[in-house]
């Protein structure tokens, strides 16, 4: 019998009742499961988080554009990190963003080995990685806690990890 909640293959939100916002993408190539921040000038726009940034919320999949961008996540998307793909959100697309006491599927950065229970932070370009700022005077923002163990390679660019949000 599985331990609930179990990771999802078709959604970003796995369990819980999220806080929801609607934003407009400030840049191209934003994927469901990425962390975003509110744009500094245009408060209705959101952009991918940089390494160590605070994260406002996680991009959900339910508000797709008319052409289907952002409408669902796939196990092996080939578009993250600059490649062209019809499922990424483009500049100007509307999307739903979620946070709160929920469990979600987060996009994991390449070349990561995450253990169950390990803390996660934004690793850059909206993706997540292991929390590495424990001993610095200006610690990075803690975003989530991994609920499963996952490893990625340098070339792997579209792996998701089941995590409990801490934002």
Residues 6 or more apart whose CB falls under 8 angstroms from that of 56 comprise 21, 35, 36, 37, 38, 46, 97, 99, 167
Residue 17 has pLDDT above 50, yes or no: yes
pTM: 0.83
> How far apart are alpha carbons 84 and 135 in whole angstroms?
38
- On the 0-12 / 13-18 / 19+ scale of CB atoms within 10 A, 107 is buried
Residue 96 or residue 154, greater confidence: 96
pLDDT of residue 159: 85
- Interval 30-71: pLDDT, tens: 888 999 999 888 888 999 999 988 899 999 875 444 444 544
**Which pLDDT belongs to residue 130?**
93
Domains of the chain by residue range: 13-165
**The predicted structure's pLDDT at residue 11:** 81
What pLDDT score does 80 carry? Answer: 46
**Domain covering 13-165 assigned CATH 3.40.50 in the classification:** no
Query: Which residue did the predictor score with more confidence, 149 or 152?
Result: 149
64-113, pLDDT tens digit by residue? 444 445 444 443 344 444 444 446 777 888 888 999 999 999 999 988 99
């Amino acid at each position: 019998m599985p331990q609930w909640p179990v990771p999802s293959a078709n959604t970003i939100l796995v369990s819980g009742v999220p806080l929801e916002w609607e934003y407009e993408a400030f840049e191209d190539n934003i994927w469901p499961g990425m962390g975003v921040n509110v744009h500094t000038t245009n408060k209705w726009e959101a952009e991918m988080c940089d390494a160590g940034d605070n994260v406002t919320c996680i991009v959900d999949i339910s508000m797709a554009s008319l052409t289907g961008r952002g409408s669902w996540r796939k196990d092996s998307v080939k578009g993250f990190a600059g490649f062209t793909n019809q499922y990424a959100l483009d500049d100007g697309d509307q999307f739903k963003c979620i946070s709160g006491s929920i469990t979600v599927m987060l996009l994991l950065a390449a070349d990561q080995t995450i253990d169950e229970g390990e803390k996660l932070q934004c690793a850059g370009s909206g993706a997540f990685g292991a929390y590495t700022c424990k001993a610095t005077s200006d610690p990075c923002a803690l975003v989530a806690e991994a609920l499963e163990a996952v490893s990625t390679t340098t070339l792997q660019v579209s792996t998701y990890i089941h995590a409990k949000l801490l934002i």
